[in-house]
Amino acid sequence: MQAVILVGGEGTRLRPLTSTVPKPVVPLVDRPLISFMLEWLRGHGVDDVIMSCGFLASGVRNVLGDGSGLGMRLRFVEEPNARGTAGALKFAESLLDERFVMLNGDILTDLDLSAQIAQHEATGAKATLALVPVADPSSYGLVHLKDDRSVRDFVEKPSADAIDTNLISAGAYVLEREVLELVPAKRNVSIEREVWPLLVGEGLYGFPSQSYWLDIGSPQRYLQGTFDIIEGNVRSPVSERMGSDWLAVDEGAEVKGRVIPPAVIERGVRVGDGAHVGSLVVLAEDVSVGPSCTVERAVILNGSEIEEGCALRDCIVAAGCRVGPRTRISDGAVLGEGVTIGADNVIAGGARIFPGVVLPDGAIEF
């Protein structure tokens, strides 16, 4: 089975994490974000994947290679300009089989793709959309189905009194190649707004699922995805690593303080005396957490140094940062790569500090 993954976006909502790293390969727990999708696809028999790239495409290719390490074939196509979701698909047309899966590259899910493909075959559909429920569907497009699961209509960003379903598109589609005939070449085309309406009543079906699904499009959702992975709320290869105690501490880590599960502590990590790490924490390789620090509900990426007496909660620290003594970072704040924060600062309120910024001691109380 073949899949096309759309990874051409710039990941602007996830900045500053994506200011220096392409969104598909931003680290998530212990591997690139896109690896969760690739491993999920492989588990459902997909062995040939086309990555439709745009922004920082070479960075994606350099990290993922040819896919042999994942037991699949990876190929890359680069749009010369932004062409929308259907336009990107059209650009890859020469590589596509008679039936394939199309996916948005920023979702984390354990949806039963095999069951979706089976329904697609059973109904003789031209396109089958995976659908998932969300708590607040008002900012999404709703999908109404008939009793046979064919799509009746779409409602874009409905008002509160018009919401009569919570099913939205999960960004995972099973398609027949003939759908490409509906897409004009060499221009920006939205599959959601321009192609699906043409297929209503003409072979467009929905596949409702109660599976886990998350669009990792913001720092808040990045943290939520991290927590759901290490808590086992979404099925992933990380669950096996966490074990029954929900704690993964590499034997190459040096931990003098206390670690509360669930947590992931990688090789080369140093946790000082009296430090409190967890729960819901990922410390990537070579991170240093100084004495008497508290780190909770946070992600700290490769090589960052947190000095004595700091408190980090509900935050993300990118690779290569240094946080000075007694500094507090909380409330959804994000430090980009290589940021230096001096002593006695307070960074909160969802603040985003972009790569390379240097703040002296006591410079900010956000």
pLDDT of residue 92: 87
- As a dihedral over the C-alpha atoms of residue 43, residue 49, residue 55, residue 56, rounded to 10 degrees, the angle is 80
Contact yes or no for 164/152 (Cβ under 8 A): no
Contact yes or no for 153/196 (Cβ under 8 A): no
* Residue 136, SS3 per DSSP: coil
Q: What are the residue ranges of CATH 3.90.550.10 in the chain?
A: 2-211
The Cα–Cα gap between 134 and 76 comes to: 32
What would be the CATH architecture of the domain defined by 2-211?
A: Alpha-Beta Complex (3.90)
Model confidence pLDDT, tens digit, residues 196-215? 999 999 999 999 999 999 99
Average pLDDT, the chain: 90
Q: Which of these ranges, 23-27, 177-181, 286-290, 301-305, has the smallest mean pLDDT?
A: 23-27
Model confidence pLDDT, tens digit, residues 264-321? 999 999 999 999 998 999 999 999 999 999 999 999 999 999 999 999 999 999 999 9
The Cα–Cα gap between 252 and 245 comes to: 19
252, pLDDT greater than 90: yes
Would you tell me how many other CB atoms lie within 10 Å of the CB of residue 270? 18
Residue 259, amino acid: V
221, pLDDT greater than 90: yes
Give the helix, strand, coil percentages of the chain, each rounded to 5.
Answer: 25, 30, 45
pLDDT of residue 366: 65
The Cα–Cα gap between 59 and 23 comes to: 10
341-348: average pLDDT: 96
* Residue 349, SS3 per DSSP: coil
333-356: average pLDDT: 96
The CATH number for 220-359, chosen from 2.160.10.10, 1.10.600.10, 3.40.50.170, 1.10.340.30, is: 2.160.10.10
Model confidence pLDDT, tens digit, residues 115-142? 999 999 999 999 999 999 887 776 677 8
Phi, psi angles (nearest 5°) of residue 194? -115, -25
Q: What are the residue ranges of CATH 2.160.10.10 in the chain?
A: 220-359
pLDDT of residue 57: 63
Contact yes or no for 195/173 (Cβ under 8 A): no
188, pLDDT greater than 90: no
53, pLDDT greater than 60: yes
pLDDT of residue 78: 83
56, pLDDT greater than 90: no
Contacts of 115 by beta carbon, 8 Å cutoff, 6+ apart: 207, 209
Q: How far is CA 240 from CA 72, 116, 232, in A?
A: 22, 25, 9
93, pLDDT greater than 90: no
Q: How far is CA 235 from CA 73, 240, 290, 345, 346, in A?
A: 23, 9, 33, 38, 36
Q: Which of 199, 186, 73, 78 is nearest to 127 (CA)?
A: 199
Q: Which of 303, 291, 334 is nearest to 316 (CA)?
A: 334
What's the whole-model pTM score? 0.91
